[in-house]
Amino acid sequence: MGAVEARYAEALLSLSQTSGDADAAEAALLALGRLYSRSAELRGFLLNPAVAARVRAETLLLALGANEPTDDCDSLLARFLRLLADKGRLGLLPAIADEYQKAKARHRNLLRVVIRSAERLDDKTVGVLLEKYRRQYGAAAAEAENIVDASLLGGICVQIGDTRIDDTLKGRFAELSKLLSAAVTS
């Protein structure tokens, strides 16, 4: 992700925390990011310079289920979307949503852990892993997303920020293959 997305996310987070709407802003941004990513028609409309910026922003508000947008619609999200539209940055919505989540987690000292496994892990196992990494990283709290990936064969792969801990059979086989290839070529 780029610095531009991070700046927009941090600015929105700062304003939404002041107004007490950080969770609502996150939910709206994630919903808009998903809408944007899934719909080529919506992307085409939002990126069309022939459509007025305000119309593009108001369309997004309607897509979120807002009532008829009016000139006096002055919510933080409405102002934010208008700013993105005015600056030609609506295409950054998915990346801004991702950066917003990361910034919010940092501000709350929340550790986000993505666990990939061949089968869904039970709550006790996830809890043990979360507590281990929460203590290791000195976080106030931790939350996990358990993604089932049948291609892993067994074991788990943990992603915490930019750190990846691969303790899967697939990862071990790949490492063994590298070692054997290096030994053969030596």
Closest CA to 106 of 18, 22, 27, 2: 22
Task: Using pLDDT thresholds of 50, 70 and 90, give the confidence band for residue 176.
Answer: confident
Domain boundary among the residues 55, 79, 104 is at 104
Residues 13 and 82 in one domain: yes
pLDDT > 60? residue 72: no
pLDDT > 70? residue 123: yes
Distances in Å between the Cα of 181 and the Cα atoms of 60, 78, 111, 166, 178 are: 53, 57, 37, 20, 5
pLDDT > 70? residue 68: no
Residues 18 and 86 in one domain: yes
pLDDT tens by residue, 32-48: 888 888 989 989 998 89
- For the chain, the average pLDDT equals 87
State the Cα–Cα distance between residues 107 and 10, nearest whole angstrom. Answer: 10
The pTM of the full predicted model, rounded to 2 decimals, is 0.66
Residues 145 and 55 in one domain: no
pLDDT tens by residue, 127-163: 999 999 999 999 999 999 999 998 888 889 999 988 9
**Total length of the chain:** 186
Residues 86 and 159 in one domain: no
Residues 19 and 34 in one domain: yes
Residues 25 and 94 in one domain: yes
Residues 93 and 114 in one domain: no
Structural domain including 67 reads: 3-104
Strand-pairing partners, residue 144, are 113
Residues 75 and 116 in one domain: no
Percent of the chain with pLDDT over 70: 94
Task: Using pLDDT thresholds of 50, 70 and 90, give the confidence band for residue 6.
Answer: very high
Q: 100 with 13: CB under 8 angstroms?
A: yes
CATH code where residue 159 lies: 3.40.30
Average pLDDT over residues 2-11: 91
Closest CA to 118 of 150, 93, 144: 150
pLDDT > 90? residue 116: yes
Residues 40 and 123 in one domain: no
What pLDDT, on a 0 to 100 scale, did the predictor assign at position 70? Answer: 46
Total domains, the chain: 2
Residues 117 and 91 in one domain: no
State the Cα–Cα distance between residues 88 and 91, nearest whole angstrom. Answer: 8
Residues 53 and 141 in one domain: no
What pLDDT, on a 0 to 100 scale, did the predictor assign at position 5? Answer: 92
Residues 115 and 80 in one domain: no
